[in-house]
Amino acid sequence: MAFDIDILIVYSENDNQQTSDTGNGWVTDFKRFLEMMLTQVLGDKPNVMLKSEHDTITAANLKKVAILIPLLSESFMSSGECLDIVEDFHKISAGGEAQRLFKVLKSPLSIEEQPAKLKDLIGYDLYFISPESGEVEDYKDFFGPDAEKNYWMKMVDLAYDIHESLIILKQTSGTKDIKSIYARRTIYLAETGHDLSVQRNIIKRDLQRHGYKVLPDHTLPKEVGNLKKEVAKDLKNCTLSIHLIGSSYGEIPDGADRSVVDLQNQIATERSAEVKDKSAFSRLIWISPNLQNASEKQLSFIENIKRDLASAEGAEILQTPLEDFKNIVREELIDVGIDKKLSTSDSSDNGKASIYILHDKIDEKETKAIKDAVKDAGYKVLTPSFEGELLELRQHHITNLRDLDAAIIYQGKVNDQWVRMKLLDLLKAPGFGRRKPVKGKVIISSKDKSMDLSAYKNHDITVIGGDSKTALESLKSFLKDLN
């Protein structure tokens, strides 16, 4: 069905009184800002209309509306006309693939106070609570630091979520020039404790910018049985789950003794165990390096994760700075499309295991003795490529990451940051479809001072230093132990 109105914003007239420095009412500013953000995301200006309880629109007119945004407040809840619009639109839009109702909260309302048809939807809170008085206030300065931290982050979330729904609606209406949304990977981005909710949103927006569908796309049920069913159902539609573990243990659902964060990890573990092809579903788990404020229960939960993952395939745990983890996620998203295009290469060479020697072009001559030692020990040598287009070089690197049995990182003239990024590539290799564990990871460094590897202490990384002769002898010992 073709729609005449892309977005209809339903509001109470009382909520559009002039309050901001812009000279407009709150709702008018909201419409203007949403239009601006959606134009950037969609590439075209959407048709956005306002409707207060005093404007007339019939159920027949609502059939021509793609997305409805009710602006919830106490005034909205006391308006029978506004509530009727929500009820009528829900009847029209229920049952489709795309979410067509998006609830925005102009002021705080508990779940119990909200319309029944909206209770399960994710809410976009656009109100401001003054830290001085504790009172709810309208933003008077939309470009001040408070608005930048809260209002605009939620607006970005809303814009990307609406963009997602509009793509699906255009597909189902027969539009030919939209790339199929179902051909891409769907990713489960687990709900977090309160301390990481902002960071989760940032990662979610990165995922959506790269064209990924992100689940869960609804509020998880409060009762443990229903929550488990919803999470398991979502995970079956995903090829990757991402879990962020911080200091907060998280909210415990009704009838449970474990938190939502804990339960999601448990269900993802079960999903991974039942999938025979480990490239069909993998897990990426980030644990904060700073856990000084974590409770005993949270620390016990984290230790259990580390213990369980020690023997798990298709899973990787990282306890690195969060920015490093975000870089891993970004690269994983971009590179996965490339990985799908690659033909599966044979990792054996007459039965030989493969060792990937990662080095920079500037250190190529210095690695000759290392390559010779690896060959003499009976291994196939995988090396980086330095000639060709950037995309081809990255494809070659990903193929090696997927096929290696062990890896050697050589640090000659390169800095610690270069080594750190190569290490992160190795740690995220399960995301590229590896079907076997990495047998060993070695760093050979000619630097006088070794880099700090405390963040990687759980990953069995061997460091070899000293002069070239000593390093070579240590490498031969390592290669012998691999067998």
Residue 463 DSSP SS3: strand
Helix residue spans in 123-277 (DSSP H): 145-149, 151-172, 197-209, 224-236, 260-274
For the segment 177-221, what is each residue's pLDDT rounded down to a tens digit?
Answer: 433 333 347 899 999 988 888 888 878 877 776 667 889 988 888
Residue 289 DSSP SS3: coil
Q: Do domains 184-341 and 342-482 have the same CATH topology?
A: yes
Q: What is the CATH number of domain 184-341?
A: 3.40.50
Mean pLDDT value of segment 282-297: 88
Residue 13 DSSP SS3: helix
**How many Å apart are CA 482 and CA 21, to the nearest integer?**
69
For CA atoms 259, 154, 146, 128, the dihedral sign is: negative
Long-range interactions of 252-258: CB distance < 8 A, separation 24+:
253/220, 253/221, 253/222, 253/223, 253/224, 253/227, 254/222, 254/223, 254/224, 255/223, 255/224, 255/225, 256/224, 256/227
CATH class belonging to 342-482: alpha beta
Task: Give 134's Cβ-side CA count (13 Å radius).
Answer: 0
For the segment 304-319, what is each residue's pLDDT rounded down to a tens digit?
Answer: 888 776 555 567 788 8
For the segment 334-346, what is each residue's pLDDT rounded down to a tens digit?
Answer: 544 433 333 334 4
Residue 375 DSSP SS3: helix
**How many Å apart are CA 62 and CA 90, to the nearest integer?**
10
Contacts of 161 (CB under 8 A, 6+ apart): 99, 102, 122, 208, 217
Confidence class for position 368, pLDDT limits 50, 70, 90: very high
Q: CA 20 from chain center: how many Å?
A: 34
Structure tokens at 113: 């106070």
**How many Å apart are CA 243 and CA 234, to the nearest integer?**
14
In this structure, the number of other CB atoms found within 10 A of the CB of residue 142 comes to 20
The fold of the 1-179 domain, in CATH, is Rossmann fold (3.40.50)
Task: Give 344's Cβ-side CA count (13 Å radius).
Answer: 6
**How many Å apart are CA 9 and CA 49, to the nearest integer?**
6
Order of all β-strands in the sheet with 65-72: 48-52, 5-11, 65-72, 103-105, 123-125
pLDDT at residue number 178: 37
Structure tokens at 231: 């999470």
Domain positions in the chain are 1-179, 184-341, 342-482
Mean pLDDT value of segment 454-467: 76
Does the pTM surpass 0.85? The reply is no
Structure tokens at 438: 């990495």
Residue 440 DSSP SS3: strand
Run of H or E residues at 426: helix 416-427
pLDDT at residue number 164: 77
Task: Please choose, from the candidates 351, 368, 369, 463, the residue with its C-alpha nearest in 3D space to the C-alpha of residue 416.
Answer: 463
Find the range with the poorest average confidence among 146-150, 167-171, 187-191: 146-150
